[in-house]
Amino acid sequence: MPADIQRLEQDQLSCWRIRHGDAELLVAEQGAQVLDYRRGDAPPIIWLSEEAALLSGQSVRGGVPVCWPWFGDLARNPQSVQQLYEGEAAPAHGLVRAIDWTMDEPEVDTDGVTLRLRCPQAEQGWPQWPQRMGLQLEIRLDQALHLSLITDNRGDQAVSFSQALHTYFAISDIHQVSVEGLADRRYIETLENWEPRQQHGDLRFSGETDRVYLGLAPTLSLMDPAWKRRIVLQSRGSASAVLWNPWIAKAQRLSHFADDAWQRMLCIETANVLDDLVTLAPGASHTLGLTIDSQPLR
Ligand SMILES: O=P(O)(O)OC[C@H]1O[C@H](O)[C@H](O)[C@@H](O)[C@@H]1O
């Protein structure tokens, strides 16, 4: 199947648009951030904010930001992750989502296209985070979208980190969707003092949601009956996920986010967080993988 590959500038960002079969993918080199993914005439699978600004040095609201080498607020991370940062105020979601990555020449084969983005800064380390790590995101587009965030420890001491593929999904209506695969799992309710809780049944949404689910099996499904589809998320190297919707009040405070956009998006963030953190011995490697497959609901 032929592929159409274009490099283009979108506002301040260098991007790649890949068309293969009925799929279309847009990736920014900055942050190795997937910005758009859609198939055929169906609504987008990945959500990009209508108010997104594609600016250098700023994470884009939507798509799939890469959070690394910590997720969220560093102060909420395990001690072994916190102690590696030697700076003052730590930026939310780590160090790589708004810096330049470099992209290798795309590889096309009969079934799809593979993109490889590398983060050169991670190989040198930062003054505040002086580890030497290989970090790359491999993106494979075929009948589905496959993301693999590969970290290898090139230094001479063990390194602990947390991370996430912070995927924003496009949905018909937050009141109508549900997430399967979380029933009976434990989660941390970050909105109630980070209390541990247990999920009963599938997850539905009726207010602000910001939860860290732990001890997960690899498959979650985002059920969207109004759009007659199920988005199946298959993770690799991950047993945790963050489920996030800002709802009404937080939506008004978020940057690059329309006041009513909370109704049209849901983040399911495939992660290694809290007790699911990664510790790599010198020379060791870890892959956090996610396959996103949209299937028709009959
Ligand atoms: O605004 P950002 O830094 O991109 O973070 C957006 C969101 O990311 C995660 O989902 C966190 O769990 C949320 O608490 C946070 O609001």
Query: Residue 16 pLDDT more than 80?
Result: yes
Range of the domain at 123: 7-296
Please indicate, yes or no, if residue 2 is contained in any of the structural domains.
no
Q: Give the number of residues written for the chain.
A: 298
pLDDT 10s digits, 79-112: 999 999 999 999 999 999 999 999 999 999 999 9
Structural domain count of the chain: 1
Please indicate, yes or no, if residue 1 is contained in any of the structural domains.
no
pTM over 0.90: yes
- Is 217 a pocket residue for ligand 1 (Cβ < 6 Å)? no
CA 213 to ligand 1 center in whole angstroms: 15
pLDDT 10s digits, 177-197: 999 999 999 999 999 999 999
- Is 242 a pocket residue for ligand 1 (Cβ < 6 Å)? yes
Q: In terms of C-beta density within 10 A (0-12 exposed, 13-18 middle, 19 or more buried), how is residue 44 classed?
A: middle
- CATH number of the domain where residue 224 is located: 2.70.98.10
Calculate mean pLDDT across residues 143-165: 98
CB 176 within 8 A of CB 224: yes
Calculate mean pLDDT across residues 123-134: 98
Would you state the structure tokens that stand for residue 138, as one six-digit string? 């491999």
CB 140 within 8 A of CB 112: yes
Please indicate, yes or no, if residue 42 is contained in any of the structural domains.
yes
Average pLDDT, the chain: 98
- Is 62 a pocket residue for ligand 1 (Cβ < 6 Å)? no
Residue 283's pLDDT band, with cuts at 50, 70 and 90, is very high
Residue 2's pLDDT band, with cuts at 50, 70 and 90, is confident
Query: Residue 1 pLDDT more than 80?
Result: no
- Is 244 a pocket residue for ligand 1 (Cβ < 6 Å)? yes
Please indicate, yes or no, if residue 103 is contained in any of the structural domains.
yes
Please indicate, yes or no, if residue 63 is contained in any of the structural domains.
yes
Looking at residue 30, the DSSP 8-state letter turns out to be B
CA 72 to ligand 1 center in whole angstroms: 7
What was the ipTM of the complex prediction? 0.97
d(CA 62, CA 45): 11
d(CA 213, CA 247): 19
CA 287 to ligand 1 center in whole angstroms: 22
d(CA 102, CA 287): 19
